[in-house]
């Protein structure tokens, strides 16, 4: 027998397992999600640069709009909001922002705290998680009397956080908030 007959049969080169894994991560959903996160990060960069100091950062929410069709946060309304008081709340809890940032019939997203605060009726403040129950994306704004997730267009009630439209089927979890002087605090 010759050495050639004893050699193992040749097979085509196996693909690099790391390359196969990387290709599996590049599905359409991942690419779109990454692109959306980059867009949000780019839109929030001017807001973050303007925050500076030790203030609890401004949220990315907007006040209710007449059109109700836009689902992206608006930098102009966020940048014009006043910063929360730097003094500690008298009753404990962390300061989210001033009461004046939360309009009646609307709300504000406090992105650093991952909390959205609404005021369905004058003097009635409600807090909810600012993480969408559909796929865990950040809530973008409060528009037209609804809490809006810009990723898949889920809308939630400002009264109880229940889903109003879109793919989300579960209500936003409640977050305890209260008024302490001129501030909204997470209790």
Who's near 98: CB < 8 A, 6+ residues apart? 82, 83, 84, 85, 182, 183, 184
In the sheet with 94-98, reading across from the earlier edge strand, the strands are 94-98, 183-186, 177-180
For the segment 90-120, what is each residue's pLDDT rounded down to a tens digit? Answer: 556 899 999 999 999 999 999 999 999 999 9
Query: In degrees rounded to 5, what are phi and psi of residue 90?
Result: -65, -35
Q: Give CA–CA dist 41/100, Å, rounded.
A: 26
What global pTM score does this model have?
Answer: 0.54
Q: Are 185 and 93 in contact (CB under 8 A)?
A: yes
What radius of gyration, in Å, describes the C-alpha atoms of the chain? 24
| Tens-level pLDDT at each residue, the chain (187 residues) | 555 555 555 554 545 555 554 555 556 666 666 666 666 665 554 444 444 444 443 334 443 333 333 344 433 333 333 344 444 555 568 999 999 999 999 999 999 999 999 999 999 999 999 999 999 999 999 999 999 999 999 999 999 999 999 999 999 999 999 999 999 999 8
Query: In degrees rounded to 5, what are phi and psi of residue 154?
Result: -75, 140
């Amino acid at each position: 027998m010759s050495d050639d007959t004893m050699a193992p049969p040749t097979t085509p080169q196996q693909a690099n397992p790391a390359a196969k894994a990387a290709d599996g991560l590049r599905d359409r959903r991942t690419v779109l999600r990454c692109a959306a996160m980059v867009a949000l990060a780019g839109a929030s960069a001017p807001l973050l640069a303007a925050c500076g100091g030790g203030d609890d950062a401004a949220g990315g929410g907007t006040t209710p709009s007449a059109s109700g069709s836009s689902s992206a946060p608006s930098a102009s309304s966020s940048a014009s909001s006043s910063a929360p008081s730097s003094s500690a709340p008298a009753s404990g809890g962390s300061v989210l922002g001033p009461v004046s940032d939360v309009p009646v019939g609307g709300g504000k997203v406090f992105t650093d705290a991952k909390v959205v605060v609404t005021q369905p009726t004058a003097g009635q403040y409600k807090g909810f998680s600012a993480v969408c129950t559909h796929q865990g994306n950040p809530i973008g704004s409060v528009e037209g009397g609804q809490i809006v997730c810009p990723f898949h267009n889920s809308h939630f009630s400002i009264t109880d956080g229940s889903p109003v439209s879109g793919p989300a089927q579960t209500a936003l979890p409640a977050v305890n908030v209260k008024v302490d002087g001129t501030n909204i605090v997470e209790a």
